[in-house]
Amino acid sequence: MTIRRGEDWGGAEPVPADAHVVDSDRAAGELAAAHRRTDTPIPPMVLTGGDLARTLGGGRPAATARTRVAIDLGAVLVDGRLHWFVAHLVARRSWLRGRIVVAANAAFLGRWNIAPRAHPGDGRLDILDADPSLGDRWKARRRLPLGTHVPHPAIEVRRVEATQIELAKPTPVRIDGHDIGAARTLSIRVEPAALDVWI
């Protein structure tokens, strides 16, 4: 299966009998985290919804799933506790002011194509780090659905295997759409090809 020109993301394979059907990034991330915490293999998943499914061209009923894709898993250490995410991490106080940090495994965040070059199976996370002026935020917001907000001089974009981010003050952190608390230091890394999903 090729999603972007020249990039092979997976192939047709039958869905295993023990596959879990998950309809959101949060459900997929929580399933992966539960198995990481118990040091057991992450079971195969069928993605029927969420930003990761959309990035992969999926999001359809489980009965139509035919393509297996090896997906990276994001991990972040926050206040001594390790968390995992399949789609994205967002650290921000507000979309309208203050610093915004996104670690993206999936290209999409809701209706926004926030990390248009993100590839869920390339062994890297796309880090977007921004603190633009209010005027530039509104301009970027209009361009986010198409992913044309980058490049921009006020938005730093890096593709990393691991990084540490220091925030000036405690900042709320969300992974796969749910809050995990506030943090000043984020130690982020990718676990390449950590799970198999079907779309």
Contact between residue 48 and residue 160 where contact means Cβ atoms under 8 Å apart: no
> Among residues 52, 3, 65, 64, which one has the least CA distance to residue 25?
52
Tokens of 54: 């959309």
Q: Which residues contact 116 (CB under 8 A, 6 or more apart)?
A: 107, 147, 150
Contact between residue 72 and residue 193 where contact means Cβ atoms under 8 Å apart: yes
> Residue 145: its pLDDT value, please?
64
Q: How do 45-47 and 178-198 pair as beta strands? A: parallel
Question: 């985290």: which residue's tokens?
Answer: 33
> Residue 5: its pLDDT value, please?
41
> Residue 178: its pLDDT value, please?
95
DSSP 23-61: -SHHHHHHHHHHHHHTT-PPPPEEE-SSHHHHHTT--S-
Block mean pLDDT (10 aa), the chain, length 199: 49 88 96 97 96 89 86 94 97 90 96 91 95 77 69 82 96 96 96 95
> Residue 184: its pLDDT value, please?
94
Where exactly does CATH 2.60.200.40 map onto the chain?
81-192
Tokens of 161: 């295997």
CATH number of 81-192: 2.60.200.40
